[in-house]
Amino acid sequence: MEIPSISNYDASRFSAQTQRDSAKTDSFADVLDRAVQNNDVRELRSACVEFESYFIHFMMREMRKTLKSDEGILPKSSAENIFQDMLDEEWSKNAANAGGIGLSDMMYNQLSKTLMDV
């Protein structure tokens, strides 16, 4: 059984993805804090939708990892992989803004009761 090595490119791409994911969750915490401090329900709703968008994108990325990348006539290039990730991110935003999977509604209902009434 051959174990593929991790190239510097793959390691740096993983590091960049991790940093982007961390920045997104940090921004959710910042927006949530601002919404609570300002008692702004619209900002809270926006933060919940943004979090749902991130969650859907994460699920799509993990599902794509289960597909074989060597299928097809030509292997995918790194540019095509980057484009696919960006397309998935936009689809996730559109899905979340159109109602999503209900996560943002549940979060909003819970957080508005516990945080906004304080």
Asked whether 81 and 73 are in contact (CB, 8 A), the reply is no
Mean pLDDT for the stretch of residues 1-24: 54
Question: How much is the pLDDT for 23?
Answer: 56
- Concatenating the DSSP letter of every residue in 28-64 gives HHHHHHHHHHHT-HHHHHHHHHHHHHHHHHHHHHHHH
Task: Provide the domain limits for residue 29.
Answer: 18-114
Does any domain span residue 9? no
- pTM, two decimals, is 0.69
Tell whether 31 is covered by a domain: yes
Tens digits of residue pLDDT in 52-89 = 999 999 999 999 888 876 666 777 788 988 999 999 99
Q: Is residue 3 domain-resident?
A: no
Domain count, the chain: 1
CB atoms within 10 A of CB 103: 16
In a domain, 8, yes or no: no
- Which residue is associated with the tokens 């979060």? 107
Is position 12 within any domain?
A: no
In a domain, 28, yes or no: yes
Average pLDDT, the chain: 79
